[in-house]
Amino acid sequence: MTVFDLAIIGGGLAGCSTALHARKKGASVILLERGRCGGQASGVNYGGVRQQGRHPAELPLATRSRGIWGRLHALVGCDCEFVATGHLKLARNDRDMVDLVAHQAVAADHGIAIELLDGADLRRRFPYIGDRFYGASLCADDGQANPRLAAPAFARAARQLGADVREECPVERAVPSPLGFEIYVTGQDTPIRAHRLVNTAGAWGANVARWFGDSVHEDVMAPNMCVTEPIAPLIGPNLGICGGGIYIRQASGHGSVIFGSGVGIADRDALRARPLAAVTMDAAKAAIDMVPALANVLVVRSWTGIEGRMPDNLPVVGPSPTIANLYHAFGFSGHGFQLGPAVGAVLAELAIDGRSPTCLAGLSMTRFAGVPDPVATTLPPANCSQHKEEGE
């Protein structure tokens, strides 16, 4: 009887990265993906690799992930088109500017360098930006990558190291057992057995958690995105705006401009999502406001995907509060692409080593139940900002 050291449910970027990192630690690993690795939100997201503007609870993961993005080629044999184009966040008014200044200080605590630009700086350095903005902050270290390539590249690398990555393999249920866990796959009578279980089931993560009595509310969102025909290099850093709304990047190398804002329609049960024309039209207007030269560029496609969203827009990452050797990472609320590589590294550490140097305070699902956060009690928040990225 085969008992894997670690089973992973969900082959998104976080799950595939977990498989790879756990294999690198020598654990025997099986990953079960209902469809294809990276076929859902991991593969159809905007492709931003951004630390700037994140909630402090995500920053330890974000900085660690940024390190991994920078050495992706060595890790998975392909850079997934990652380029550090920078990320420019625009302020609409002086109040926004105050927020940017405050965030600069928080980010600095995590070792992230952010440069503040006043209106004149902004117009001089980024003349293609619309003239109604008050100022901006630039994180030169941020960038972008091609989402369609990332999760499959991690899956491929994990497989090459001997992980058993099974696609088209839907899990019907899983139960705790004396050895760890028994996982039942559609069409197979014999369960798959593993000592430890990681739940990276994305928008379906709360469903998996519920099998073990870990009850948390997870909503869905379908970010509405568009891509244009390729144009000559115009936009340097990825663009965002205080208060959310429109985001824009020009695919480095290819030249197409990807922009989005608002949400389309997601049907979690039917695994279908579609963009909405009215949202696309509003996004086009906001995109022109931000970069007026886009007015006559042609949009060639709009799309969306199904993404899990937690009530506070922060993911659940950490051990199950009720079951030993069970770990959750889902509900990334639109932040999962940049975080994915580090989430996998951390889950592999938690599951195999029992601890991770990366602080997960504020991300445990216990925050929704009013019970103490198990990670926060073992690793006090004071340690978090001192964490330095180690080599993989």
Partner 1 sequence: MTAEPPIVVVGAGPAGVSAARTLVDAGHRPILVDEGMFPGGQVFRRPPSPLQQSDKKLYGFDARRARRLHDNFSALLPSIIYHAETMVWAVEPGLLHLARGDKAICQPWKRLILATGAMDRIVPTKGWTAPGVVTLGAAQIALKAQASIIGKSVIFLGSGPLLYLVAYQYARAGARVVAVLEAGRPFRRFSDLPAIASGGATFAGGVFYIAWLKAHGVPIKTGIEPLEILHGSDGRTSGLRYRRKGQGRETILSCDALAIGYGLKSETQLADLLGVDFHFDPQQRQWLPTTDLDGRSCVDGVYLAGDGVSVRGNQIAAIAGELAALALLSDMDGSEAPQAGALRREIRRARRFRKALDSVFAFPTDQLKTLPDEALICRCEGLTAGAVRQVVELSGESDINRVKAFSRLGMGRCQGRVCGPAAAELIAAAASTDILHVGRLRGQAPLKPIALATLAGGRDDGI
The binding site for partner 1 (CB under 8 A) comprises: 36, 43, 148-149, 152, 227-229, 254, 274-277, 280-281, 284-285, 287-288, 294-303
Closest Cα to residue 136, out of 57, 238, 63?
238
- Nearer of residues 124 and 272 to partner 1, judged by Cβ: 272
- The answer to whether the CB of 218 falls within 8 A of the CB of 245 is no
Q: Map 207-235 to HEC letters.
A: HHHHCCCCCCCCEEECEEEEEEEECCCCC
* Residue 230 Cβ vs partner 1, minimum distance, rounded to whole Å: 8
Residues recorded for the chain: 392
Q: What letter does residue 349 receive in the DSSP assignment?
A: I
- Nearer of residues 255 and 381 to partner 1, judged by Cβ: 255
* Residue 215 Cβ vs partner 1, minimum distance, rounded to whole Å: 34
Amino acid identity of residue 273, one-letter, is A
* Residue 299 Cβ vs partner 1, minimum distance, rounded to whole Å: 6
Distance CA 259, CA 250 (A): 9
* Residue 39 Cβ vs partner 1, minimum distance, rounded to whole Å: 8
Q: What are phi and psi of 376, to 5 degrees?
A: -60, -30
* Residue 40 Cβ vs partner 1, minimum distance, rounded to whole Å: 12
- Nearer of residues 62 and 246 to partner 1, judged by Cβ: 246
Q: How far is CA 209 from CA 69, 198, 320, in A?
A: 29, 10, 8
Amino acid identity of residue 374, one-letter, is P
- Nearer of residues 191 and 255 to partner 1, judged by Cβ: 255
* Residue 171 Cβ vs partner 1, minimum distance, rounded to whole Å: 21
* Residue 259 Cβ vs partner 1, minimum distance, rounded to whole Å: 9
- Nearer of residues 37 and 360 to partner 1, judged by Cβ: 37
Closest Cα to residue 360, out of 375, 374, 345?
375
- Nearer of residues 158 and 342 to partner 1, judged by Cβ: 158
Distance CA 120, CA 126 (A): 10
- Nearer of residues 113 and 278 to partner 1, judged by Cβ: 278
For Cα atoms 43, 46, 50, give the angle at the middle one, nearest 5 degrees. Answer: 110
